[in-house]
Chain A
Amino acid sequence: MKYAYYPGCAAKGSTPEADFTTRLVAQTLGIELLELQNSGCCGAKEIRVVSRRLDLNLNARILSLAQGLGLDILTICNTCLLNLNQANNQLKAEPETLQKVNKSLSKIGLSYDGSTNVKHLLHVLLTDLGLDRLKQSVKTPLTGLKVAPFYGCHIVRPVKDLGFDVAKTESLEALVRTLHAHPVEYPGRTKCCGFYVLMPNEAAASGMIAHRLEEALKADADCIVTPCPLCHVALDMFQEQALGKVGIRRTIPVLHLPQLVGLALGISEKNLQFSRHLVRVNILGK
């Protein structure tokens, strides 16, 4: 199992612990990651506002870099996953658009043929590695830990662009069970964390964040786990202020997917870099 690893801007900047622990977990599980050095940004939800074509160019460049390595992409960011998939689908469906985009890419010595597949770490653990093999690698079963699976939006919707319905198939819940933890049922699991509103309207975003955290707290979860670094930014970095505004004094730790997996694989607390979180991770020993 070898992938072109594309962590995305957030995991390289605001949540370096997500990048770090993904590498550790991959190494432990025998998943080889070859980082797409120099790959730059996927354009998030913003560049398509400037022009759809620029967004396609950025994503086609990343897809083409992976094509050069002959590898599928593994990303750990929901938005990168959706953007790369949407661009890929469009470029495959519209030969004329692909031609235009390739004209741009030719200026930097690249071209794209539509052959790269894009997967999220969650998909790789579920289908390429398989939960049975993951189960065999569990060294520290997380027995008794109540986890609120928080999918984030762009790994769930739109299903037609992603080609795989992770929420309906309850894949994050299945993964949590594989680690011997208990996934709590709660209404917020596929709702929005509000990340994309943080910049233009922090007050509105704060409201969304508070709703999501309250839902997980109400379900009596010990922690939240998310496959998306952007959700982590919203739910961890802005947690104190969002809950403060609605008068809640409890907190709930938010784990990156690779951190939860790493915990069960027996990776040390220090290496999981919980100390980088703003909300204290107080689940150990539960």
Chain B
Amino acid sequence: MVKEITVSIFRYDPESDKHPSYQTYSVPSKERMLVGDVLEYIHENLDGSLAYRWECRMRLCGGCTILINGKPGLICREQAEPSMTLEPLPFLPIVRDLVVDRKSLLDKIYSVPPLTRQKSPVRLPEPIAHEVILGLRVPRQCVQCLACVAVCPATEVLTADLFLPPKLIQIAGFAIDDRDTVDRVQESEESNLFDCACCHACEEVCPHEINISEKVITALRNKTYEHGIGRGGRYIKAFYDTLQAKGKVNASGILLRSQGYLRAIMKAPQGIRLIARGKFVSPFGKPIPDIEDIRTIIGPTEQEK
């Protein structure tokens, strides 16, 4: 007996439909069938009016991302499951059914031009260090499929002032290229680098398995810290200073060191409630007894890779 795949698909044509609806189809299952194959079967055999996007079919154009059982994925990569719900990516205007208008987000990503800005004229041959090339491979893998954007909690809240992982990936790529002349530290601060919540949700859905937290966010934050600029750089320095002073960290110590007395005092009403509940750790408290051990192993001389 032929096994069937039951698939419920989001249908909506903004020009003629009042509301979106879901339509269910049964598709004969084949071995190693991709979600894209299922959609193609429906389009060719059951319902020619279904709209979806699938172009390169080899995970490179980044255009075919949809929500598969609530999780973003490329239809040219993800295996079909016996029972699926397929929906368009969130955040974006719907063109029809599973097709969304990606332009607004792509424009924001490409506001960082995908070009190394070099001093002109470029002297040829152009020497590029091996490590630079290796490092560049990571950001070059990003195909702007927007899967990470769909799950990112920072993107979710910063609707007006967009936080976009793929934009930071572009910036990270140039930041490690020593031929590049743009101030990428400034650029990443302006792109809300420190609004990443370190949740790792993006990595779980990235079809190219880019380690965004380490290779992009941490790498760029490290540059910001080394330049000692901006709210982010100040915050990291305050954390490090607190740890060197006490061996442990607490919010009050970091606040005092990064935002100064004024901001710290302005937080006082919250502070008083915390004191009442035994939750307030004084920034002037004692360090841990083995503080010298901590200072020894995290001192500046220990930083070599």
Query: Which B residues are CB-close (under 8 A) to A49?
Result: 218, 221-222, 225, 236
A46 surroundings in chain B (CB, below 8 A)? 235-236, 239-240
Q: Closest residue to A86 on the B side, CB-wise?
A: B214
B154 on the A face (CB < 8 A): yes
Q: How far is the CA of A50 from the CA of B302 in the complex (A)?
A: 11
Q: Which residue of A lies closest to B152 (CB)?
A: A192
Decide yes or no whether B142 CB sits under 8 A from chain A: no
Interface residues of A in 171-205 (CB under 8 A from B): 187, 191-192, 194-197, 199-201, 204-205
Contact residue among B195, B236, B254, B258 (Cβ-Cβ distance under 8 Å from A201): B195
Which of chain B's residues have a CB closer than 8 A to the CB of A117?
A: none
Q: Decide: B236 and A40 in contact? CB cutoff 8 A.
A: no
A208 on the B face (CB < 8 A): yes
Q: How far is the CA of A38 from the CA of B294 in the complex (A)?
A: 10
Bound-state Cα–Cα, A140 to B187, Å? 56
Number of interface residues of A (CB under 8 A): 55
Complex interface: chain B residues within 8 A of A138 (CB): none
Asked if residues A157 and B203 are in contact (CB atoms below 8 Å), the reply is: yes
- Are B204's CB and A157's CB within 8 A? yes
Task: Given A105-B297, A107-B296, decide whether A278 and B273 contact each other with a Cβ distance below 8 A.
Answer: yes
Residues of B within 8 A of A108 (CB): 292-293, 296-297
User: Do B279 and A57 have beta carbons less than 8 Å apart?
Assistant: no
A54 on interface, CB distance cutoff 8 Å? yes
- For residue A89, CB closer than 8 A to chain B, the reply is no
- Tell me, in angstroms, the Cα distance from A15 to B297 when the chains sit together: 27
Interface presence of A169 (CB below 8 A): no
CB pair A50 B236 closer than 8 Å: yes
Of A9, A16, A104, A200, which contacts B194 at CB under 8 A?
Answer: A200
Chain A contacts of B273 at CB under 8 A?
278
Contacts of B302 in A (CB 8 A): 53-54, 57, 104
Given A38-B288, A41-B248, A57-B297, check contact A204 B243 (CB 8 Å).
Answer: no
In the complex, A46→B225 CA distance in Å? 10
| B216 at interface, CB cutoff 8 A | no
Complex Cα distance, B112 from A220, in Å, reads 44
Residues of chain A within 8 A (CB-CB) of B235 are 46, 199-200
Q: Is A13 within 8 A of B197, CB to CB? A: no
Known contacts A201-B195, A276-B279: does B240 contact A58 (CB below 8 Å)? Answer: no
**CB of B231 within 8 Å of the partner chain:** yes
A219 at the interface (CB under 8 A from B): no
Cα separation A100 to B239 with both chains bound (whole Å): 24
Asked whether A211 lies within 8 Å of B153 as measured between CB atoms, the reply is: yes
Query: Does the CB pair B277–A157 fall under 8 Å?
Result: no
Is the C-beta of B125 less than 8 angstroms from some C-beta in chain A?
no
| B146 touches A (CB below 8 Å) | no
Within 8 A of A (CB), among B112-147: none
Report if B1 contacts A (CB, 8 A). Answer: no
B305–A52 touching, CB < 8 Å? yes
On whether A58 and B294 interact (CB within 8 A), knowing A14-B279, A49-B225, the answer reads yes
Q: Are A41 and B158 CB-contacts (below 8 A) given A50-B303, A200-B235?
A: no
Digitize A231-244: 1 where CB-to-B-CB distance is under 8 Å, 0 elsewhere.
00000010000000
Q: Does A207 contact B (CB under 8 A)?
A: yes
- Whether, in the assembled complex, A45 has its beta carbon less than 8 Å from a beta carbon of chain B, the answer is yes
Which of B196, B203, B251, B258 is in CB contact (< 8 Å) with A14? B251
A41 touches B247 (CB 8 A): yes
Whose C-beta in chain B lies nearest to the C-beta of A108?
A: B293
In the bound assembly, the distance between CA atoms of A53 and B302 in angstroms comes to 7
Interface string of B262-305 (1 = CB under 8 A from A): 00000000100110011101000000111011101110001111
A119 → B minimal CB distance (Å): 19
Q: Are B303 and A54 interface neighbours, CB within 8 A?
A: yes
| Interface assignment of B199: CB less than 8 Å from any CB of chain A | yes
Q: How far is the CB of B224 from chain A (nearest CB, A)?
A: 8
Q: Is the CB of A13 within 8 A of B200?
A: no
Q: In whole Å, how far is A230's beta carbon from the nearest beta carbon of chain B?
A: 10
Besides A40-B243, A100-B304, 4 other A-B contacts (C-beta < 8 A) = A108-B297, A153-B200, A207-B158, A208-B154
| Leading 4 A-B pairs by shortest Cβ distance | A207-B157, A192-B199, A157-B200, A200-B194
Between-chain CB contacts (< 8 Å), 25 pairs: A13-B279, A14-B274, A38-B289, A40-B288, A47-B240, A47-B243, A50-B240, A53-B303, A54-B298, A58-B297, A100-B304, A104-B297, A108-B292, A153-B199, A157-B199, A157-B204, A187-B70, A194-B153, A197-B194, A200-B235, A201-B195, A201-B231, A205-B197, A208-B154, A208-B156
